[in-house]
Amino acid sequence: MTIRGPTNSYVKGELVAETDVYRLYLCQQEGTDRQCLLQVAKDVAQNSILTRFAYILERLISYAEELEAEYAKVKKDPKEMLNYRLNFPELVETFVFAEQGGRQINILAFREVDEISRMVPLTNITRKDHLRVDLRTSGWIMGKLLKLLKFAHSQGFTVKLDGSNILIEPDEHYVLIFDWAGIEIFADETVPDEVVREQISQAAEAVVAVLGADPVAGEFPNDGEPYFDQYTAHLMHLVREGESSADTAHREFYELIDGLWPREFYQFKTHPLNGGERS
């Protein structure tokens, strides 16, 4: 089936996800063969939710580009980028499709990712693949989640932080939140401290879970890695107490890991989910 939007046409492929609000299909953009996602409302009553989804993505990219332009004025390395745009999907286009009963459609893509399948929900690692990441791998995931929260909270946006909504690209170290439709937006662009703490705690819980650990008991698989106690204690501090500022949490987290490991590209690494002693 070919779906024609205002600027491009898309060949609809297989269903890859479904919620109470929308269905999500793989699709191919005609003329470019670009792989995208076709998000279609289940019925016209859900159109407003997908319209809000599109509006938020437009707000996010506008703000990300504004920050990038400001950073360009002061950065020392011309190649260095903030890259907040990698933290949320690209809205290719949005439209109402009359041939589908007037339902809202959003065409989505992942920036700098050619194959949709390269973006992996965090929960798939443990639940589907029966694997867990090692400490250093969890470090870049946690660090980028805190960076994302810093970005979103500065706009007064909350973030939906369950593991199925957190997508990662393991090879390139991208961390992305997919669904922004149900988030809360605070009119004065100030997220209350108690909400910030809860959000940081949720992000840390998701990372603790992908480490194969118990976020309640704080028991982690121990593979004899250096700095195990120091690092896991900090994660559990974020789970149990959070932090009233994502900016502060982000800075303190990198102060910690910069003291533990060299700042260099670290290949995505996993272990069998049930391996390792518990500590």
Write the pLDDT tens digit of every residue in 107-145. 999 999 999 999 999 999 999 999 999 999 999 999 999
CATH 3.30.200.20 fits 2-116, yes or no: yes
| Cβ within 8 Å of residue 247, ≥6 positions away | 150, 154
Please give the distance of CA 70 from its chain centroid, rounded to a whole number: 24
**DSSP 3-state percent helix, strand, coil across the chain (nearest 5):** 40, 25, 35
> Can you give the pLDDT at residue 276?
62
Task: Write down the residue that tokens 């990698």 correspond to.
Answer: 86
Cα(113)–Cα(169) distance, integer angstroms: 8
Neighbours of 147 (CB within 10 A): 20
User: What per-residue string of b and e applies to 97-124 under the rule 16 or more CB within 10 Å gives b?
Assistant: beeeeebbbbbbbbeebeebebbbbbbe
CATH 1.10.510.10 spans which residues of the chain? 119-278
| pLDDT tens figures, 65-123 | 999 999 999 988 888 999 999 999 999 999 999 887 899 999 999 999 999 999 999 99
CA distances from 65 to 59, 86, 183, 230 (A): 10, 11, 21, 37
Helices 135-153 and 193-210 meet at what angle, rounded to 10? Answer: 160
> Average pLDDT for residues 171-182, to the nearest whole number?
94
Cα(243)–Cα(193) distance, integer angstroms: 8
Contact criterion met (CB below 8 Å) for 158 and 27: no
> Average pLDDT for residues 256-271, to the nearest whole number?
93
- If phi > 0 it is left, if psi is from -120 to 50 it is alpha, else beta; for residue 108 that is beta
Mean pLDDT (the chain, rounded): 94
Contact criterion met (CB below 8 Å) for 143 and 250: yes
| pLDDT tens figures, 179-218 | 998 899 998 889 999 999 999 999 999 999 999 998 888 8
Cα(118)–Cα(111) distance, integer angstroms: 12
Phi (first) and psi of residue 6, to 5 degrees: -60, -30
> Can you give the pLDDT at residue 277?
64
Which amino acid belongs to residue 137?
Answer: T
> Average pLDDT for residues 250-273, to the nearest whole number?
94
Cα(149)–Cα(87) distance, integer angstroms: 10
Helices 47-72 and 135-153 meet at what angle, rounded to 10? Answer: 100
CATH 3.30.200.20 spans which residues of the chain? 2-116
Query: pTM of this prediction?
Result: 0.94
Q: Is 65 helix (H, G, I), strand (E, B) or coil?
A: helix
| pLDDT tens figures, 22-59 | 999 999 999 898 999 999 999 999 999 999 999 999 99
Whether the per-residue pLDDT at 278 is higher than 80: the answer is: no
> Can you give the pLDDT at residue 125?
97
CATH 1.10.510.10 fits 119-278, yes or no: yes
Neighbours of 231 (CB within 10 A): 22
Whether the per-residue pLDDT at 279 is higher than 70: the answer is: no
